[in-house]
Copies of this chain bind each other. A is one copy, B any other.
Amino acid sequence: MRVSELASESGVAVATIKYYLREGLLAPGAATSSTGASYTEEHLRRLRVIRALTGSAGLSVHRTREILAIIDSPQPDLYDTLGRAVAALPPYPDPELHTDHPRARAVLERLGQLYDPGYAAVAQLEDALRAAEEAGVAIDDERIDVYGTHLRAIAEFDVARMPQGAPSSSIEYAVLGTALYEPIILALRRLAHQDVAARTLG
C-alpha cells in the first residue's frame, strides 16, 4: 500500500501521515526505492489507533507517542506497566508536590480500597474532588458510596474480561479499553440522566 492509499483508506491527509512518521507515532513503511515505501494493514491499524487516541480520547500527540511506546515494548512487570500506561492518559494533575491526598485518601478508605499515593489516578481523584469542592458542588459520603459501588462493579467486569494472552496485548487492551471506553461511559451516564429525567419529570 502506498502513502496515498493509506491516506484514503484511513481518511488522514498524507501530510499528516508524514507528520506522524516524523513524530515517531507510525513506523516507516518498507522502502521500495529511494523515493518509495510500502505500507501494510498493520500501518493502517496503527493509524486508526492513533486517530482514536488523539481524537476520541483527546490525547496529545506527545502523550499518544508515550502510550504507543509502552504498548510496543513489553515489560516483564505487567502490573507496573499498566500503571505507567494509564498514568499517561489524561487528565494530568499538576505535579506540584502532592505528598498527601487527603480527600482521595478519605474516599478510598471509605470504599475499603487500597490507598497508594504513587498511583496517578489518586492525584487525579484528589484534583477532581478539590475542583468540585471549590466550585461549590462537593460530593458527600452517600454519593461516594453510590458511585464507588457501581464503578467497582464495572471494574470487576473489566478485569474479568482482560485477555490472558501476551503481556503486550494485555497492555494494549487495557490502555485502549481505559482510554476509549471512558467516553462511552460518560455518554451513557449523560443519556441515562436524560432518560431518567424525562421519565420522572415529563
Q: Contact residues of A with B, CB < 8 Å?
A: 45, 48-49, 51-53, 55-58, 78-79, 82-83, 86, 90-91, 107-108, 113-114, 116, 119, 121-122, 124-125, 127-129, 131-132, 134-137, 139, 143, 146-148, 150-159, 161, 173, 176-178, 180-198, 200-202
- How distant is A10 from chain B, measured CB to nearest CB, in Å? 9
Given A79-B202, A124-B183, A137-B173: A189 touches B56 (CB 8 Å cut-off): no
Contacting residue for A129 out of B48, B116, B184, CB 8 A = B184
When C-beta atoms are compared, the residue in chain B nearest to A178 turns out to be B190
Assuming A90-B58, A134-B48, A135-B48, is B185 touching A189 (CB within 8 A)? yes
Contact B125 A184 (CB under 8 A): yes
B135 and A180 contact, CB distance less than 8 A: yes
Contact A161 B187 (CB under 8 A): no
Q: A56-B127, A114-B198 are in contact. List 15 more A-B contacts (CB 8 A).
A: A52-B131, A56-B131, A56-B132, A79-B201, A91-B183, A113-B191, A121-B187, A124-B183, A128-B180, A132-B184, A147-B184, A150-B153, A159-B193, A159-B200, A185-B189
